[in-house]
Structure 1
Amino acid sequence: MSSFLASKRQVLVSACALATLTIVPALSHQAQAQAWPTARPITMVVGFPAGGSADMIARTIAEPLSKRLGTPVVIENVSGAGGTIAGQKVANAAPDGYTVFMASGSEVSIARLFNPAVKYNGETDFTAIGLVGDVPLVLVASPRAGLKTVAQALDKAKREPAALSYASSGVGTVLHVAGELLNQKAGTKIAHVPYRGAAQMAIDVAGGTIELAFFMTPTALPHIETGKMVALGVTTTARSRAAPQIPSLSETPALKGFDVSLWNGLFGPAKLPPAITARLNKELNEVLREPAVWQKLQKAGVETQGSTPQALTQRIRDEVQRVQSIAPAAMKSSS
């Protein structure tokens, strides 16, 4: 009998020890989240060099976010491979709230669908914190193409399949995705010509070397205003705040529901504690409401929104699903 009791006592001790091993890490993570942030700096990783639009957005957010959190937020530019080197760095980081990622849909949703070298999955390897805003794209035509509306462009593309080509800043970019989504929705086969950047695209559109191109709206507006490009439509369902005179592509019946933009959001590594995610989301949304931040981002063409982590997560899922449906055709058109 005593042997039985001893055995029973040993089982109970083992069970308690196992429960303790399970509970202690959970309590430790909870304690870390409650103590966050300490005086330790938070690193905000950006996948592009200093001076670019991604860097500008990050720096505009970082300073007021630092003040609200009471700890420094330091920008680290990790450029290369279209921002995916930075993405891998953040995916590999500890989920302790001291490494965050200012990223766009190109790095988070689109890159892995076009590039097998990208090993992280934006849906599972990051924690969505909140949306910063959207930058609409705009479809433009060369003045020498004789096109004034997107309906005219689509009509010509159907009548003369080899007559038109469109330029983007590269295979797998959001500009490329916009072009292939247009082909899919309109039933056209406008050929894709990838460029290395916007500067040469602008020269070739103005000179008539290429008939159509997708640009970031802030990049194209000066050329549109001087007559070097003809604006056919912005790629969001609503007209751009920066250029309300330009129609939305979705206003054309053949492109109803057309909606593509370059969004920017804040992310952490996967398994970021919910308490830290919630705090960062709250402070990010408050920063976006600050007049100085709002005005600077609006001037740069970023239409600020803010969001919940859940809404940003859903947006990524929707974008991946949409891009997956056109990725094979997009790769074929660029080969």
Structure 2
Amino acid sequence: MTTRRLSSFSRRLVLAACGTAAVAFAVPAWAQATYPSKPVKLVVGYAPGGSVDMAARVVADILTAKLGGAVVVDNAPGAAGVLAAQRVVSSPADGYTLLVGSSNEMAATGLVNPAQKYNALVDLTPLGLVATAPVMLVAGPKVPVKNVDEFIALVKRNPGKYSYGSSGVGSTLHFAGELIKQRAGVFMTHIPYRGTAALTTDLVGGSLDFAIISPTAAAPFIKSNRITALGLTSAKRFPTLPQVPALGENAQLKGYELTGWFALAAPKGLPPEIAQKLSAALKAGLAEPAYQRRLEEGGSIPATGQEDLTRIMREDTNKYLGLVKFANMRD
């Protein structure tokens, strides 16, 4: 009798153990291992050395330090960041393929590029803003203007005579230029370039009148007096360029603001535990002065970690949509 009771009890123990094992095997692999258990890839849709790439390398160092695993930058330039974003969107949502993107591919380009097959607001998991990145209106050496008032007066007197360049149709730089035209009531011809290098060459050489360009790319030519800085697109002056006014300071462009930004994102469906871990690591790193200095040196204003990236993406997309209609933009 005792033996039978012991056998029955033993059987119940075995069955319980089997049930526990079944539950354990049902837990996803990412929950069983400590994330990250292998290198994390940060895909960047721009060439090494540019402002997005520089921000991505800061993010890589932050995540490496805070997560305790290798985080590497993978540059995949093309189509104003769209190719890289598409690659991330199509990747498994396991936290090992992330995007360090810009306002181009995360808010702007989908409005003008019919080849873009993803919707950033739907197909990405926003993890955090990294930095904002004001751009700058500059004048070439053959244009007789030294400030925003002179720029507006000259272009108004000569509608259609002058041109401005940007890094491409539907880029943040293009939208910044169209917003200037809309607010100031001026007409200039937009000339899209495939990158900053060719744009800068034409600008400095005098074949391009004006340009919307990043402060980092413009700085050496401003210092050597080969181009003239007219104003920044941010609401306030940039800390490292205090002598350059914000465009919104001018009475004719009062309230003007259109800045680019860089952000960390993942494919949709990222497990909440991993999303929280990545967001917390980024926020902790952005609070450290050493990382803040590196972002500022790269021409960016570090995020605080308090920003709502989803809201920023939605609001900027709506702002850009209005400019698409104003400028009748087509890729």
Which TM bucket (shorter chain)? Answer: 0.7 to 0.9
What are the Cα deviations for residues 96-151 of structure 1, in whole angstroms up to 9, with x where unaligned?
Answer: 22221110011111111111000101111101101110221110112321111112
Count matched residues: 309
Query: Could you say if the C-alpha distance between residues 204 and 49 of structure 1 is closer, same or farther in structure 2, counting changes exceeding 3 Å?
Result: closer
**8 Å contact kept, 1:142–1:212:** yes
**8 Å contact kept, 1:29–1:273:** no
2:142 is the alignment partner of 1:144 = yes
Q: Could you tell me how far apart the structure 2 residues matched to 1:306 and 1:93 are?
A: 29
2:218 is the alignment partner of 1:220 = yes
Query: Could you say if the C-alpha distance between residues 36 and 101 of structure 1 is closer, same or farther in structure 2, counting changes exceeding 3 Å?
Result: farther
Percent identity between matched residues is 38
2:313 is the alignment partner of 1:316 = yes
What is the deviation of 1:304?
A: 0.7
**8 Å contact kept, 1:90–1:101:** yes
Q: Structure 2: which amino acid aligns with 1:164? A: Y
**8 Å contact kept, 2:62–2:281:** no
- The aligned residue for residue 156 of structure 1 is 154
Query: Could you say if the C-alpha distance between residues 42 and 152 of structure 1 is closer, same or farther in structure 2, counting changes exceeding 3 Å?
Result: same
Query: Could you say if the C-alpha distance between residues 206 and 28 of structure 1 is closer, same or farther in structure 2, counting changes exceeding 3 Å?
Result: same
- The aligned residue for residue 108 of structure 1 is 106
Structure 1 portions without partners, runs of 5+? 1-23
Under a length normalisation based on structure 1, what TM-score does the superposition of the two structures give?
A: 0.85
After alignment, is 160-169 or 228-237 more displaced? 160-169
What is the deviation of 1:31?
A: 8.5
**8 Å contact kept, 1:105–1:263:** yes
1:241 to 239, 254, 274: 239
Q: Could you tell me how far apart the structure 1 residues matched to 2:45 and 2:182 are?
A: 30
What is the deviation of 1:32?
A: 4.2
Q: Could you tell me how far apart the structure 2 residues matched to 1:105 and 1:325 are?
A: 16
Structure 2 portions without partners, runs of 5+? 1-21
Query: Could you say if the C-alpha distance between residues 207 and 67 of structure 1 is closer, same or farther in structure 2, counting changes exceeding 3 Å?
Result: closer
- The aligned residue for residue 78 of structure 1 is 76
Query: Could you say if the C-alpha distance between residues 206 and 89 of structure 1 is closer, same or farther in structure 2, counting changes exceeding 3 Å?
Result: closer
What are the Cα deviations for residues 214-261 of structure 1, in whole angstroms up to 9, with x where unaligned?
Answer: 110111111111111111100001101120110000011222221122
Q: Structure 2: which amino acid aligns with 1:199? A: A
Q: Could you tell me how far apart the structure 2 residues matched to 1:251 and 1:65 are?
A: 38
Q: Structure 2: which amino acid aligns with 1:322? A: K
What is the deviation of 1:33?
A: 5.3
RMSD value over aligned CA atoms? 2.4
What are the Cα deviations for residues 62-121 of structure 1, in whole angstroms up to 9, with x where unaligned?
Answer: 133112112221222223222212111111222222221110011111111111000101
2:90 to 82, 92, 96: 92
- The aligned residue for residue 323 of structure 2 is 326
Query: Could you say if the C-alpha distance between residues 49 and 193 of structure 1 is closer, same or farther in structure 2, counting changes exceeding 3 Å?
Result: closer
Under a length normalisation based on structure 2, what TM-score does the superposition of the two structures give?
A: 0.86
Q: Could you tell me how far apart the structure 2 residues matched to 1:324 and 1:71 are?
A: 40
SS in 1 for 2:142: helix
